[in-house]
Amino acid sequence: MDNDLKRPLLILSSCYVAPRSKGETYYFRKGQIYNVGNLELKSGESAYLEEGCVVCGRIYSNMADNVRVSGNGILYGGVWHKPDENGGRLMASFYLGKHILVEGISVVDNGVWNVVPGACRDVIIRDVNIMSRLVTGDGIDIVGCEEVLVEDCFIRACDDCVCIKACALPGPAACCNVRDIKVRRCVLWNAEPGNALEIGYELRCNEVSDVVFEDCDIIHCEYEGNQSGGVLTIHNADRAKVHNVRYENIRIEDAQEKLVDIKILDCKYSLDRVRGDVENIVFRNIDVTGPLFPVSIIRGFEMTNEMHRPRDIRFENVTVQGRTMHSANEMRMVVELAHELQFEGRVTLEKPEY
């Protein structure tokens, strides 16, 4: 209310999550503070954080199926790092598992990534609040996973809010293809570093496909000033083919840097020796309502023996400050080494230069 983004008052409303009728493996009761260190869940086990409890430490699983972390309590990460320095361990991490549920909890003040499924299948992250204030404090990192649903979450992250990757974190098996990811009905606040809805940078797999971001509100995407920093972003710095991605029904209140940022590039995060591609990307019903008109960038990659150009990128009913965008120029978009951009059925084609 006073425009001081450094000292926000966050009033969060969540649905009550009841404990399982058959009982919980670990039950953390309200009014108590726990220090669990590293709590590992085995197959079929669960942790329930009752509203009013604070659990200090991390909860994780390794090669475990049917794992559940739920309740309305707080998982607190401040014990893993110095007050004003990033560092620590992944807070809620699940590796090489199936049928993973994280529901209702609040994850607060971790110094690195917060909720991280890696090389998992059939994951639901629902009604989770994440608040981080230090660099690298990503909200949710979906790494090398299939069949993931993220819904009804609030994330205020001092780095990427929701990020899709394929890299060796939490383990080397997470360098695998990503498929069938849906993120919906989330409210996001991206602080200075990182991006709001991001695919990249580490994409060390063959394919990232069938990704949907829909019905989300980005209330802030603050200014970063680096080569990333945007609201709807794809940064392909490795070999993956990124395709069949849809951003739909997204409302943006405060975009201080880039709106759309799609790049194929070689950078400090790259490990693969060749670049990948980006194609068949749809932006539909995107509404920017804030006082700033953010720029956009779409940029390909070209070297002596290698050329990769983002293609088949469609913008349907994209409005900025009440005006519908019909071209890259209207959208204040820089387009380099890219072609087949479509606006409301009208095609702007930049011919390849060889």
Q: What is the pLDDT of residues 211-256, one digit of tens each?
A: 999 999 999 999 988 777 899 999 999 999 999 999 999 999 999 9
Give domain status of residue 173, yes or no.
yes
Dist CA 22 CA 8 (whole Å): 39
Q: What is the pLDDT of residue 85?
A: 87
At 353, the pLDDT band (50, 70, 90 cuts) reads very low
Has residue 303 been placed in a domain? yes
> pLDDT tens digits for 252-294?
999 999 999 999 999 999 999 999 999 999 999 999 998 999 9
Res 311 pLDDT > 70: yes
Residue 1 lies in a domain: no
- The DSSP secondary-structure symbol of 136 reads T
What residues contact residue 28 under an 8 Å CB cut-off, 6+ apart?
34, 47, 48, 49, 50, 53, 55, 71, 73
Find out whether 261 and 229 touch, Cβ atoms under 8 Å. yes
Q: What is the pLDDT averaged over residues 2-11?
A: 88
Q: What is the DSSP string of 194-220?
A: S-SEEEEEEE-SSEEEEEEEEEEEEEE
Supply the CATH number for residue 168's domain: 2.160.20.10
**pLDDT recorded at residue 2:** 86
pLDDT tens for residues 88-102? 889 999 999 999 999
Question: Would 263 be classed as within a structural domain?
Answer: yes
Digit-coded pLDDT (tens) for 321-346 = 999 999 999 999 999 999 889 998 55
Structural domain range at position 93: 27-348
Q: Which residues contact 149 (CB under 8 A, 6 or more apart)?
A: 123, 124, 125, 126, 182, 184
Query: 3-state DSSP helix/strand/coil percent for the chain, to nearest 5?
Result: 0, 50, 45
What is the mean predicted confidence (pLDDT) over 119-141?
96
Residue 5 lies in a domain: no
CA 347 to chain centre: 30
Classify residue 42 by its DSSP letter.
P
pLDDT for the residue numbered 354: 36
Residue 8 confidence class, pLDDT cut points 50, 70, 90: confident
For residue 347, pLDDT over 60 is answered with no
Cis omega (within 30 of 0) for bond into 201 = yes
Determine which helix (DSSP H) or strand (DSSP E) holds 105, and give its type and residue range.
Answer: none
Please say whether the beta carbons of 55 and 30 come within 8 A: no
Q: How many structural domains does the chain have? A: 1
What's 239's DSSP letter? S
What would the pLDDT profile of 26-55 be if each residue is shown by its tens digit? 999 999 999 999 999 999 999 999 999 999
Backbone angles phi, psi at 188, to 5 degrees: -125, 140
Residues contacting 321, CB < 8 A, separation 6+: 288, 289, 290, 293
The rounded percent of the chain whose pLDDT value lies above 90 is 85
Look at residue 82 in the predicted model and tell me its pLDDT: 87
Whether 124 is covered by a domain: the verdict is yes
CA distance 204 to 167: 6
Which pLDDT band holds residue 18 (cuts at 50, 70, 90)?
A: very high
**Residue 4 located in a structural domain:** no
pLDDT tens-digit map of 151-208: 999 999 999 999 999 999 999 999 999 999 999 999 999 998 999 999 999 999 999 9
11 in a structural domain = no
Check: CB of residue 190 under 8 Å from CB of residue 154.
Answer: no
Tell me the C-alpha to C-alpha distance, in Å, between residue 343 and each of 314, 316, 352: 6, 6, 19
